[in-house]
Amino acid sequence: MASGLSGFLNVNKPGGMSSHNVVAFVRRLLAQGVKVGHLGTLDPGACGVLPLAVGWATRTIQYLPPHRKSYRAEITLGTETDTLDAQGQVVRTTTVPELSEQYLAKLCQSFQGSRLQVPPQVCALHVGGVRAYQLLRKGQEVDLAPRPVHFYKVSLKRWNPEKKCFLLDVDCSSGTYIRSLARDIGEALGCAAHLSFLLRTSSGIFLLKESHTIEDLRDNGVEANLLSVGSVLEASLGRCCFLEGQSFQGGQEFAVTYDRNGIELELSNYPPDEPWVVYDRLDNRFVGVGRITRGVNSILVLRLERIAV
């Protein structure tokens, strides 16, 4: 494959495989030296959508907004593990109260909205420059501060009273831990709980129904499944403009920009410093990423910041 390969990949990560291993697997399918990076990890035991950036696209990850994410989760009551999921060791068992499906649905729905969430002790967050899970392996205490998260939806799908487990559909902000949600629902019910299954169904614009298994990638190649950098950035940011020029270079400033219909944009109508997807007006070629800023004499301009290669 050409070293100039670039784009985004929507991978359906299998359970039991770490995000790092998925990145390594894709990298081995490419020419030597082609960079691959993920847009946020997924726990090894979880499966589903894991977006990757390939080649030059890795340099545009910084422009993508925090991804709203969706999950199908199974929570089992009565046992808690040290990792808060099925991969951990059981640390506590309790009896499970009698629950009606109606009561459980109302309780789960009460978690919707903004709240502070304490991350799991076993996680990849940095504490003093070291991953939390690495400190725990050394026997050191980890004190993780609550973090603001937002749940757009926490909807009960099915309650199984015999197995003491239930399925949830969850829509949430980036940085939310579904393992912590399982723990917190258990605490609200007065019993132990852990996350026994997790499937990520979407991450931003990346959907499970459009994802590719690692078998797909192995058999059909990465290039056949790549999404273009421009299309992903535009769908994620919702902003694009068109420039006129013979050639484009990083740092260039343009006082005149156009929308997709050829109408000149009034730059003062838009907030400064937000990234824009930039195209060549002549042939609709993706140029790169720019920002609205103040140029010479404080005139508002679109400054090219990242040029596609």
User: Which DSSP symbol is given to 255?
Assistant: S
* Neighbouring C-beta atoms of residue 32, cutoff 10 Å: 8
107: tokens are 């309780």
Give Cα 132 to chain centroid, integer Å. Answer: 20
Catalytic residue of the set 43, 169, 219, 273 = 43
8: tokens are 């985004």
* Neighbouring C-beta atoms of residue 103, cutoff 10 Å: 14
Backbone angles phi, psi at 242, to 5 degrees: -125, 135
Active site residue 43: yes
CA–CA gap between residue 209 and residue 190 (Å, rounded): 37
Angle between helices 101-109 and 178-189 (to 10 degrees): 130
* Residues recognised as catalytic: 43
